């Protein structure tokens, strides 16, 4: 199984400051199609998860461009250029390339 | 408006069965692979099962293989999860979701396995 190692476990950030979350996979996430199915999700308290980014770096509709995704093969990063109050919650990386699909353990973003 | 509405959860005794449903609307359900994801209380997300758009491909997590069955009825825009031999560790909020292409998530349905 692909292990997704997500760091840090928690992140305390002041409004307006940047944030960065890392996700490393135990094997390459490049699929047979050549696509890399690495997603970033945000789960706000009491809500369902919401996808922010897919295929490593593609921003979902309605997601502000303060969010960006980068990386390749086994090393991926989610960056928030300027944290806003609405960004609080738990962030998960999710690989959808290899079965079983696997999630990172989550990063809780809190306000400093 | 895109909606995924799960139903069928509840309190069930260990060893018993339960069937979850997920009714989709607002998008072309038959075009998308679908998944069941679960989240135990206070824990992270765990992938449970996937089914391709035409039901040709089905995959399960080892933790549920042989006990859970995923299926779909594209004519009814509905995804199912038949759960048998339930264990206490199956207690979780169960989401139906599609995420590799379109991103659609339900609000979740709670399953509690307890005597």
Residue B101: its pLDDT value, please?
84
Q: Is the pLDDT of residue B102 over 90?
A: no
Q: Quickly state the pLDDT bin for A97 (edges 50, 70, 90).
A: very high
Q: Quickly state the pLDDT bin for B52 (edges 50, 70, 90).
A: very high
Residue reference for tokens 């959860």: B9
Site from A4, A60, A101 to mutate, B interface, most B CB atoms within 10 angstroms = A101
Q: Which of residues 49-88 of A touch B (CB under 8 A)?
A: 49-51, 54, 60
Q: Measured between CB atoms, which of A48, A92, A102 is closest to B106? A: A48
Mean pLDDT over each residue of chain B, to the nearest integer: 97
| B27/A contact by beta carbon, under 8 A | no
3-state secondary structure of B88: helix
d(CA A41, CA A105): 12
Residue B100: its pLDDT value, please?
86
User: Looking at beta carbons, which residues of chain A come within 8 Å of B35?
Assistant: 101
């Amino acid at each position: 199984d692909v292990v997704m190692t997500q760091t840090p476990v928690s992140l305390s950030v002041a409004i307006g400051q940047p944030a960065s979350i890392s996700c490393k996979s135990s094997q390459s996430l490049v699929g047979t199609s050549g696509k890399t199915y690495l997603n970033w999700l945000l789960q706000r308290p009491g809500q369902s998860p919401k996808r922010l980014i897919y295929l490593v770096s593609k921003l979902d509709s309605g997601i502000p461009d303060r969010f960006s995704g980068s990386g390749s093969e086994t090393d991926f990063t989610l960056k928030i250029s300027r944290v806003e109050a609405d960004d609080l919650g738990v962030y998960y990386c999710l690989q959808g390339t290899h079965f079983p699909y696997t999630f990172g353990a989550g990063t809780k973003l809190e306000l400093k | 408006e895109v909606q995924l509405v799960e139903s069928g959860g509840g309190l069930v005794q260990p060893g018993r069965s339960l069937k979850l449903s997920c009714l989709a609307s607002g998008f072309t359900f038959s075009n998308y692979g679908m998944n069941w994801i679960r989240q135990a209380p206070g824990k992270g997300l765990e992938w449970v099962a996937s089914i391709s758009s035409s039901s040709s491909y089905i995959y399960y997590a080892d933790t549920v293989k042989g006990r859970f069955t995923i299926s779909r009825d594209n004519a009814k825009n509905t995804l199912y999860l038949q759960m048998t031999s339930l264990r206490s560790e199956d207690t979780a909020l169960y989401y139906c979701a599609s995420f590799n292409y379109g991103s659609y998530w339900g609000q979740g349905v709670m399953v509690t396995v307890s005597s």
